[in-house]
Structure 1
Amino acid sequence: MNNPLYPAFFRLDRLQLLVVGAGQVGEEKLRFILKSSPNAQVTVIAPWMGEDLRAALDGYDKGAGSPVPGRSQEGAAGVWHTTEEGRVAYYAREFRPEDVQQADLVVAATDIRAVNRAVYDAAKAARRLCNIADTPELCDFYLGSIVTRGPLKVAISTNGQSPTFAKRFRQWLEAELPELETTDLIDNLKLFRDRLTGDFQTKVRDLNTVTSELLASPQRGHRCPAGGCLMVSTALAVSPPADEPTLPD
């Protein structure tokens, strides 16, 4: 079966994300959200907060009050700010259907089926996109495995068939894409692209030439050591051979 999902990358600094639940499931969801998007604007609603989530939030600066536009102060129990201008606001109370009105995306992260279903019903009535923990048939989107290397971000999905493979593939990509070399390569390719002249076809041809080394080693019948092909391409973008067109240094 082919994977029919259409991948998209959300600007969580511009959207309001609601997470219902602050126990083990909520902590796992929020931790990965903030790891991938430390500038996310998140509201957490739950009658209590687990120790794991509280410990994770203690790593951020804690403020006061509720910075969520249009949301009542009732139950406001704290707000934390990340170094990337992200925000997590916590409300210590039960979920209410009207809570979804101030949200763009909704995540139900409890282990109580009735609560998760209530979140789903409210989200769909308000036409909000939602993710319901451990209930794929009620999800409009999934929170998959993610690899981040500087400006590069790769999302991995097996359409729910093998989360273990997604995890291992993420680990393989992390080993193959060293942080520094990946960032240097993409930065240099941007400089190279910005300096290109000529028509569209010429620019595409030049970009294809300079990135061909990414696949050069496998084409010769052997694979690179971890990050090896990437290092070759980074070096090529920085200082090409003398008989090649001048690239940015």
Structure 2
Amino acid sequence: MEENNLFPVFFKVSRLQVLVVGGGNIGHEKVSAILSNCHDANITVVATWFLPELVELAKSAPNVTLMQKPFSCGDMLGKDLAIAATNDKDLNCCIWEKAKGSRVLINVADTPELCDFYLGSVVQKGNLKIAISTNGKSPTIAKRLKEVLQEALPGSLNEVLDKLQTIRERLKGDFSEKVKQLNQITEVLVKKD
């Protein structure tokens, strides 16, 4: 059986420079996904044309820059993450090659074998954020699981997190002792009656 060997990581996107190449539906979807997680994300979108919805989205986001031009190697300079979001497979492969040569992590839309990372389906309740991955096999299943979790998780979860943070700050002892105490405190959350 094949394993999912992806390592889940949460980036502080406001500290990174992100390049999205493509101004159509795919580009709009990727920019929207990033901004829904971090409104202050630094995103440069390069495309020869832009969907009107993407233009409107960029106007509402302080750090999104639209550059109406063809992709060039120089667009990769200073970038930390890149997303190839065009309908042109040859162009997407070219973007992938430039990203690899620049040591920039790359996601090529709908081409899992060329992706260093995926944009998972995300469930958020206040400060709790859960990302779901199907290893690139079925974004539809990830979307359905997101809907189930969104409905199942209580709205009061953020209050619980705030209280646990207060408790955590007041605990005494070294790291392992604090973890032990927090495990005892939170055990009630997973106990079955």
Superposition TM-score tier, normalisation by shorter sequence: over 0.9
Pick the aligned partner of 2:158 from 168, 180, 183. Answer: 183
Note the 1:190-229 alignment, pairs <5 A: 190-198=165-173, 200=175, 202-216=177-191, 219-220=192-193
Aligned to 1:23: 24
2:127 aligns to what?
Answer: 151
Q: Report the residue type matching 1:116 in the other structure.
A: N
Unaligned runs of 5+ in 1: 61-79, 82-86, 221-249
Normalization by structure 1: what TM-score? 0.73
Moved more, 156-165 or 10-19: 156-165
Aligned-residue offset at 1:176: 2.1
**2:9 maps to what in 1?**
8
Q: How many matched pairs?
A: 192
Q: Is the 8 A contact 2:58 2:65 kept in 1?
A: no
TM-score (norm 2): 0.93
| Residue 113 of structure 2 corresponds to residue 112 of structure 1 | no
The residue type paired with residue 44 of structure 1 is: V
Partner Cα separation in structure 2 for residue 183 and residue 45 of structure 1 = 37
Q: Which residue of 136, 139, 158 corresponds with 2:115? A: 139
Shift of 1:169: 1.3
| Root mean square deviation of aligned Cα | 1.6
Give the drift of 1:19. 0.3
**Residue number in structure 2 paired with 1:51:** 52
Compared CA separation, residues 195 and 101, structure 1 to 2 (3 A): same
Structure 1 residues 114 and 185: CA distance shift in structure 2, 3 A: same
Distance 1:14 1:204, change over 3 A: closer
Structure 1 residue 184, shift from structure 2 partner: 0.7
Q: What displacement does 1:200 show?
A: 4.8
Q: 5+ unaligned residues in a row in structure 2: which ranges? A: none
Q: In 1, Cα distance between the equivalents of 2:68 and 2:147?
A: 36
Question: What does the per-residue CA deviation read over 1:88-143, in whole Å, with 9 as the maximum and x for residues that have no partner?
Answer: 00111000012101211110111111211111111111111100111111111111
**Matches of 1:15 and 1:213 in 2, distance apart?**
38
> More helix by proportion, 1 or 2?
2
Contact (CA 8 Å) 1:100, 1:126: kept in 2 or not?
yes
Structure 2 CA distance for aligned equivalents of residues 199 and 131 of structure 1? 40
Q: Name the % identity.
A: 44
Q: Give the whole-Å Cα distance in 1 for the aligned partners of 2:174 and 2:100.
A: 47
Paired with 1:201 and 1:150, the residues of 2 have a C-alpha distance of 27
Is the 8 Å Cα contact of residues 97 and 118 (structure 1) preserved in structure 2? no
Provide the rounded CA distance (Å) in 2 between the counterparts of 1:22 and 1:178.
Answer: 37
Equivalent residue letter for 2:161 = I
Matched, 1:97 2:73: yes
Aligned to 2:158, what secondary structure does the other structure show? helix
**C-alpha distance in structure 2 between counterparts of 1:141 and 1:46, whole Å:** 22
- CA deviations 1:58-109 (Å, max 9, x no partner) are 4x1xxxxxxxxxxxxxxxxxxx41xxxxx10011100001210121111011
